[in-house]
Amino acid sequence: MLLAELVDVTATVAATRSRRQKTEALAGLLDRLGPDDVLPAIGLLIGSPRQGRLGVGWRGIATLQVPHADAASLTIADLDSALGGLAAASGPGSAGVREGLLREIAGRATTEEWGFITRAILGELRTGALQGVLLDAIAQDVHADAALVRRAAMLSGDLGETAALALAGADLTRVGLQVGRPVQPMLAASATSVAEAVAITGEASVEYKLDGARIQVHRHGDDVRVYTRSLADITHRVPEIVAAVRELPVHDVILDGETLSLGEDGTPRPFQDTMARFGADRARHIALRPWFFDVLHVDGRDLIDEPLRVRLRELERVAGAWRVPGIVTGDADAAQQLSAQALAAGHEGVVVKAIDAGYAAGRRGKAWIKVKPVLSYDLVVLACEWGSGRRRGWLSNLHLGARDPDGRYGEPGGFVMVGKTFKGLTDEVLRWQTTRFEQIETRRTAGTVFVAPITVVEIAIDGVQRSPRYPAGIALRFARVKGYRPDKSAAEADTIQTLQALRAAADVPDQSA
């Protein structure tokens, strides 16, 4: 298929807020794809090329001066091959190889196609064709039950593979858990108090909320694989976790949990320390400890449809020494006491989990609810202002955006600004973000560098308030940086609707931002 057809459909999808029209346009595209085009096309549609990191930044693209083609001739397969070459380039001379590939593909692409390609490479492609809409389009195209398609995608951990199976006429009911193939993790909603969370869940497993990095661990015999929340394989970086799981009394297992580093006194180190160690290619002096809070499979038995109380019994049997601390209770006072213990131990708070709920892979519902005394949200950096005084020469004041999936305040799937902050930034972080943001710069003014919206930062706030300054009519109150989240993608950032709901419930006095 010509790339131009995919570009035209993404433009159509981005131009409408109607989910039905998006679904119909995408279903029509899927119906025309050849078998070899499905995987690369799905990756492009969700703004995540299947090759992963390509080693190309904004500057590498912005400096290209190449005349584009007048007529469309580039195919999806051509682009997929070029992206594969970019991802494979490494070592001495790799920069020249990448530049050559970019020049070749830019010269073969039309102006519209090149704009699409650059956004895909830089992670800026926001078509409104997010996974939920694509799942509906797949179901519509093959006349399958949408819930079945969604479950297959969650269990396979790969939307492209699910699309390929569905379009080939495979039986999606046969897609299940497979040890060694990561699945999308279950996610938690938020509540402002433990009592509120328990009122929603009823009897629950109330567990420590750790300020660590999410991990999913698969073991088959002595073969152990460790994956991040984004399903990246980081086994080689965490030998201590691999060693711990090899000692468990089980042959096959899939575990869900977190890892964090502890200080000499046993208290958790700052999240930045964990992520610095988590992202290292070799083990460093900071050790990571695993904590598991769920088990999805044990020795040939899938557990995701079993109630949590059953999964916890199995977790205790196979990984008791590595379990996250918690209690099972329906008493809000007892849950609050555990929350106080977690906070006293240096953790973030608690997660309250309905004891009879199954494991909803890839979904965020009311079965799991996190409660933290300080409100924190994952936002995306849209721009950064140059500092003054002691911070002169560093990029300092962050422009923060919430995800706008419906395009209510701009482009569907884009971001809407909700505030600024320079609080909580250490000198080390200032140096890092100055280098980082100049690498992903899209444009600048005298005092501000605008960047590709791909960097997630966790922001602590006291609440939100009305503000005419920002498009969505709200602004963050007393925002400060908790830390950058390289383990999360911009598609996982909190939505503007989440912040607006917080404003509606908080009864914060009106004042200008």
Under 8 Å between Cβ of 441 and 458: no
Q: Is 296 helix (H, G, I), strand (E, B) or coil?
A: strand
252-261 and 395-404 as β-strands: parallel, antiparallel, unpaired?
unpaired
At residue 164, φ and ψ (nearest 5 deg) are -60, -40
Q: Report the Cα 194 to chain-centroid distance in Å.
A: 26
Tokens 């008493």, located at residue: 331
Query: What DSSP line would sit under 190-232, residue for residue?
Result: EESSHHHHHHHHSSEEEEEE-SSEEEEEEEETTEEEEEETT--
Tell me the one-letter amino acid at 419. G
Please indicate whether residue 22 is annotated as part of the active site: no
Under 8 Å between Cβ of 456 and 485: yes
Triad 49, 181, 487: Cα angle to 5°: 55
d(CA 307, CA 291): 20
At residue 175, φ and ψ (nearest 5 deg) are -80, 120
- From start to end of 360-455, where are the E strands? 364-371, 375-386, 395-404, 414-421, 441-444, 448-451
Under 8 Å between Cβ of 194 and 332: yes
Which residues pair with residue 485 across a beta bridge?
A: none
Triad 294, 321, 208: Cα angle to 5°: 55
Give the CA distances from residue 316 to residues 69, 168, 256, in Å, rounded to whole numbers and listed in that order: 62, 41, 13
Closest-CA residue to 472 (of 400, 423, 421):
400
Under 8 Å between Cβ of 312 and 319: no
Under 8 Å between Cβ of 359 and 296: yes
First to last CA, the chain: 50
> Given 22, 209, 353, 482, which residue is catalytic?
209
Triad 128, 130, 136: Cα angle to 5°: 110
421 C-beta neighbours (distance < 10 Å), count: 21
Diameter over CA atoms, the chain: 69
Residue positions annotated with a catalytic role: 209
